[in-house]
Each structure stands twice: as C-alpha cells, then as structure tokens.
C-alpha cells in the first residue's frame, strides 16, 4: 500500500492480515482506508462491501435470550456462559479502585490499556458466540429471533453489585455481530418484543411473576412446566419470532 505523509508519498509499504481478510480485501474493498495508531501498533482500517446472499425461508426459529450470568441462551438449550468475561471486568474494577487515588499519568495509561483489553476480550467473546449461533441456525435451516434491545436498561433490573457488570453496548454488539454474520449466511433474523419473556410459560403461555423462582429456575404455577429460566425465555423469543415472521410475510 502507499500512504500520504507530511514527508510526501510513502510507497510499497507492507501490511499483513489473515488469509480470510486478504481474500475479502482483494474482492470487496471500497474507498479509502484509515490508518490508526494504538497501543504501539499501526492499524489500517478498510471498508468492505460484501454482497449478502438471498435470505432463505426459515423452517423454524432459534430464539436467543441475552443475559449476564449466561451471555446468550438459545431455545435449543445451549447456554453461553459469561463467567470469563465477568471475571475480566471484575479484575479491572478492582484495579481501578486501587489506582483511582493516584492521579498519575502512568496510572491513567494503565487503566486505559486495561479498558481496551476488556473491550477486545468482550468483542472476541461476542464473535465466538455469534458465530456458534449463526452456524447452528444455518445447519438446522432456522431463522434467528432476537430481543429488541430498546430499553434493555429498564428491563434488566438488578441489585447494585451486579449493575456495574451490565454493559448494554456489549448486548448491542452481540446483536449486531449475529445480524451481520446471519446476513452473510442467508439466515433470516427477526427482532421481537422481549416484554415478559422471563415470566411467561413457554409451554402453556401463562404469564405470572411467581413462575420465575430465582435467577436460574422457571416453574409454571399453571401447568407445572419446568425449565432453566433462560432456556424458557429463549423458547418464548423463538415462538414470538415465528409468529412475527408469519405475520410480516403473510402481508
């Protein structure tokens, strides 16, 4: 590549990327790229426009429930645990507590580096989860039903020690990763209203706050159906996705 610098044009500079990225770059790059400097490294950020394949008509829907203990739970019973991510967040908070009194430059720099590290770790976790969910939907010919995340801060009411672990941007990031990976695979995605998905019975449909025994357990007071609370919620999201898809496609 070549770049313009204050000293004129620098030609034939080398850059590197993964084999997959190089393939995408050579086929789909659009416009100019941005050069950025971060943590002692130079990054070239290029925009690629990849044409999306035709969205296949889904045979069923895989519902995805987002949470904090389990970052994502799908209606087929798969739980993606957030333990590792929550541990990284916890360590950074501890470090901040210790360093906050020292307002030195080096303390600030260290915290900034840790914040970036945490963000990279979260993004990587989200990429892995999104890929697994999209691969599973593709394999089973299903669409993906996601919660509409408008107002997630109001919906997720937590006790104070947990509140700090709630990063709504991380939920949005996971949702957007699933969105673009699904589009690339031709997998349908639908967003549904998440109201009462944790209190509703996915077997008989009854809504009751007492159905939710604790963080992890759901037991229906009407029909007796019992399931992990997040799996039950994901099943409700899947059902709403199916209904929503049928309505929008009948019209």
Binding site for Zn ion (CB under 5 A): 201, 203-204, 206, 220, 222-223, 225
Which one from 118, 227, 230, 242 is the annotated catalytic residue?
230
The least CB distance from residue 70 to Zn ion, in Å, is 22
**Does residue 118 have an active-site annotation?**
no
Shortest gap between Cβ of 241 and Zn ion (angstroms)? 20
Output 173 or 236, the one with its CB closest to Zn ion. Answer: 236
Give the shortest CB-178-to-Zn ion separation in angstroms.
29
Would residue 230 show up in a list of annotated catalytic residues for this protein? yes
Catalytic residue among 34, 39, 49, 65: 65
193 part of the active site: no
**Maximum C-alpha span of the chain:** 76
Cα–Cα distance, 86 to 65 (Å, whole number): 18
For residue 240, the minimal CB distance to Zn ion (Å) is: 16
Using an 8 Å Cβ cutoff, are 26 and 17 in contact? no
151: which 2 tokens?
Answer: 């107002």
Nearer to Zn ion, 139 or 209 (CB): 209
Q: Which of 39, 94, 136, 147 is catalytic?
A: 147
Distance between CA atoms of residues 82 and 108, nearest Å: 27
Cα–Cα distance for residue pair 226/116, rounded to 1 Å: 41
Classify burial at 107, counting beta carbons within 10 Å of its beta carbon; exposed 0-12, middle 13-18, buried 19 or more.
Answer: middle
Comparing CB distances to Zn ion, the nearer of 55 and 226 is 226
Beta strands 189-192 and 143-147, pairing class: parallel
Nearest to 93 by CA among 22, 8, 164, 28: 164
Nearer to Zn ion, 121 or 225 (CB): 225
Q: What are the catalytic residues?
A: 65, 147, 230
């Amino acid at each position: 590549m070549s770049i313009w610098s204050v000293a004129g044009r620098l030609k034939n500079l080398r850059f590197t990327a993964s084999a997959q990225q190089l393939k995408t770059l050579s086929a789909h790059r659009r416009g100019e790229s941005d050069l950025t400097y971060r943590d002692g490294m130079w990054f070239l950020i290029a925009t690629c426009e990849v044409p999306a394949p035709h969205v296949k008509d889904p045979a069923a829907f895989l519902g995805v429930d987002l949470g904090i203990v389990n970052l994502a739970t799908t209606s087929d019973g798969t739980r993606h645990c957030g333990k590792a991510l929550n541990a990284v967040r916890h360590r950074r908070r501890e470090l901040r507590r210790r360093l906050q009194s020292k307002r030195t430059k080096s303390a600030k720099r260290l915290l900034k580096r840790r914040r970036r590290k945490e963000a990279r770790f979260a993004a990587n976790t989200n990429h892995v989860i999104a890929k697994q969910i999209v691969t599973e939907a593709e394999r089973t010919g299903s669409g993906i039903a996601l919660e509409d995340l408008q107002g997630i801060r109001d919906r997720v009411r937590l006790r104070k020690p947990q509140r700090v672990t709630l990063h709504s941007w991380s939920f949005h990031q996971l949702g957007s990763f699933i969105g673009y990976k699904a589009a690339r695979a031709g997998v349908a995605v639908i967003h549904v209203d998440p109201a009462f998905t944790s209190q509703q019975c996915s077997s008989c449909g009854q809504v009751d706050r007492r159905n939710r025994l604790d963080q992890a357990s759901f037991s229906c007071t009407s029909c007796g159906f019992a399931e992990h609370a997040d799996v039950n919620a994901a099943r409700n999201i899947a059902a709403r996705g199916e209904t929503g898809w049928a309505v929008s496609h009948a019209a």
